[in-house]
């Protein structure tokens, strides 16, 4: 495998380096169940992109593994770009909410950036929504409000990605799988 374009990192399996980088940065973080290591989430998101959505390019798999690093760890865009190249960094940045913004402006700004980003960022967002939806049963903060919030996030992810579906069959597949998962969950079940 060659060195990622624009990266100072040595050649090697890019996804393996991304996994090690994410595991190091997410050390000590746990999921909402207060037990599961947080890094299991980005790993599952990457596996969802690769195996369920059937999309295998290295940059997308790496971005899936790293999708929460800018938002939830000390890593920044420059760290990601240096290690994994500009495309991975741009996808991860598009998937990162600007926590400096007030909450009422954060989501609209996030949706705007995501809608303008490379289509693969929206594919990773669909995988992120899918994994979070599948994870609801293991969370300690469950309840109808949590389920309804996750279903609404899934709908937002779908609406952002729908324009990509005609050109990218993996996006159409992802939307179908996410809709199927959503149909199995109702807000009153939690």
Catalytic residues: 71-72
Neighbour-count burial of 115, counting CB atoms closer than 10 A to its CB (0-12 exposed, 13-18 middle, 19+ buried): middle
* Burial track 167-187 (b if 16+ CB lie within 10 A, e otherwise): ebebbbbbbebbeebbeebee
Find where tokens 């971005």 sit. Answer: 63
Q: What three-state secondary structure class fits 94? A: helix
Token reading at 84: 């994994």
Cα–Cα distance for residue pair 67/92, rounded to 1 Å: 5
User: Inter-axis angle of helices 14-25 and 58-66, to 10 degrees?
Assistant: 10
Contacts of 184 (CB under 8 A, 6+ apart): none
**Coil, strand or helix: which one is 51?**
helix
């Amino acid at each position: 495998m060659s060195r990622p374009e624009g990266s100072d990192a040595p050649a090697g399996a890019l996804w393996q380096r991304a996994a090690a980088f994410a595991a190091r940065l997410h050390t000590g973080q746990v999921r909402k169940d207060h037990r599961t290591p947080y890094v299991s989430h980005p790993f599952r998101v990457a596996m969802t992109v690769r195996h369920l959505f059937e999309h295998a390019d290295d940059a997308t798999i790496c971005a899936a593994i790293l999708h929460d690093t800018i938002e939830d760890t000390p890593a920044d865009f420059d760290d990601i770009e240096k290690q994994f190249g500009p495309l991975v960094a741009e996808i991860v940045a598009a998937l990162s909410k600007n926590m400096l913004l007030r909450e009422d402006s954060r989501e609209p700004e996030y949706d705007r950036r995501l809608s303008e980003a490379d289509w693969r960022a929206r594919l990773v967002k669909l995988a992120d929504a899918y994994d979070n939806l599948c994870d609801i049963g293991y969370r300690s903060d469950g309840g109808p409000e949590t389920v309804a919030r996750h279903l609404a996030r899934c709908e937002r992810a779908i609406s952002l990605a729908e324009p990509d579906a005609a050109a990218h069959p993996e996006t159409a597949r992802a939307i179908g799988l996410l809709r199927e998962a959503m149909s199995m969950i109702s807000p009153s079940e939690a």
